[in-house]
A and B are shown apart, each in its own frame.
Chain A
Amino acid sequence: MNELQKLVDQVQSEFDDVRVQLDDTAADSIFAEFYRDQYKVFAEWRRGFGVGLSGGNDFLFGEGPHEIYKSASDAANRIKELLSAKRATQSPEEVALDRLRIVRRMSQQEIAKRLRITQASVSKIERQSDMYLSTLGKLVHAMGGKLELRAKFPDSEFRITQLGDLAPTIGRSARPQRTHPRRTTRTLKHK
């Protein structure tokens, strides 16, 4: 029995109303589609790579899976979670901070506790379109990840190291690295 069949069995053991379609026509992949009402989760198992999956109602031609799991068991748990919530996954390049936190299965309260700030502050950060790199680094670090800054070009890619560690120690004040020029305030003095 291949890994994908095990995954399908795991999912089907918990849902009576999920229809599953398997497709093993490709050379190096086996595909499984899970349907629950109008909601779908698509999964692809690749030998040596793991399981890629996306959930939602609308998938674009040419797009790869949104999430990759090395273990079929982790992928099965994620599929079960998605089928329960009927929530659309997002491709990594488009994920917003609140979605990233949800994917990492964390609440704003947990993040706030780790960063020693209020839940309202976390909410505010998640809604900001501009922020210090150090703030973003701390937030990602609090979720268990590491922020990296990369410059992508059509023929190459570079990791920028000049800004140092973008995930500074939590709870310790770090000099902020601005993503935009500092606005200066000029004080007028009356003579």
Chain B
Amino acid sequence: MQQRSKRIRLAEFYRRMRKLPAFENHDDAFEGGASLLDALENELTSIPYAPADWRSDGRLYWPQADNAKRIGRTVTRYRSFAHEMLIGDNGSLEIRAIGGDVELSKPGGDGRLVSDLLRDESE
């Protein structure tokens, strides 16, 4: 089986994330996204799961839990190599390229986006 490119696999990850029912809280969103990405990479590649290797091995990895920082009252930020992931306490999730665009924005269980939570906090 020829391995699909990372770009195609990432697009597939975003497609499946959007189709999933909304997550109800932060922990569900963090675990749900991690499980989906790991399952997808196991399905579409033969690269073993080895997050400790750090250097790119061709597999896509979910951000590390210890890279979390609380921003505001209701949002947690996870920094990865070239992206940041924001997860709201309502289960909303947003993935942004550093210095670039929002690549995925998924509402939480109450229908509100991360940007809604941050806007409310700034008002």
Please list the residues of chain A having a beta carbon within 8 angstroms of any beta carbon in chain B: 21, 23, 25-29, 31, 33, 35, 40, 42, 44, 46, 49, 52, 54, 59-68, 91-94, 152-157
Closest A residue by C-beta to B98 = A33
Please tell me if the beta carbons of B99 and A93 are within 8 angstroms of each other in the complex. Answer: no
Q: Which of B47, B81, B83 neighbours the largest number of chain A CB atoms within 10 Å of its CB?
A: B81
By Cβ-Cβ distance, the 10 closest A-B pairs, closest first, are: A62-B60, A59-B82, A91-B56, A93-B58, A26-B67, A64-B56, A25-B69, A27-B66, A61-B83, A26-B79
Report yes or no: B58 in contact with A91, Cβ–Cβ below 8 A: yes
Contact of A46 with B61 at beta-carbon distance under 8 Å, contacts A25-B77, A25-B79, A61-B80 already known: no
Q: Do the beta carbons of B79 and A23 come within 8 Å of each other?
A: yes
Q: Is B110 positioned at the interface, with any CB of A under 8 Å from its CB?
A: no
Query: Roughly how many angstroms separate A35 CA and B58 CA in the complex, as a whole number?
Result: 25
Asked if B27 CB lies within 8 Å of chain A CBs, one says no
19 A-B pairs (CB sep. < 8 Å): A23-B79, A42-B81, A59-B83, A61-B80, A61-B83, A62-B13, A62-B37, A62-B80, A62-B83, A63-B56, A63-B81, A63-B82, A65-B55, A66-B56, A92-B55, A93-B58, A152-B47, A154-B46, A155-B48
Q: Give the CA-CA distance A94 to B54 in the complex, in Å.
A: 16
Residue of A nearest to B99 (CB): A33
* B10 A61 Cβ-Cβ under 8 A: yes
CB neighbours (8 Å) of B7 from chain A are 60
| A61 / chain B contacts, CB cutoff of 8 Å | 10, 60, 80, 82-83, 95, 97, 103
Q: What separation, in Å, do the CA atoms of A60 and B6 have in the docked complex?
A: 8
User: Chain B residue with minimal CB distance to A53?
Assistant: B81
Q: By the criterion CB–CB under 8 Å, are A40 and B81 in contact?
A: no
Most buried by B among A42, A49, A62, A91: A62
Q: Is there contact, CB below 8 Å, between A35 and B69?
A: no
State the Cβ distance, A174 to closest chain B Cβ, in Å.
30
| A52 and B55 within 8 A (CB) | yes
B114, chain A: closest CB distance, angstroms: 15
**B81 A65 Cβ-Cβ under 8 A:** yes
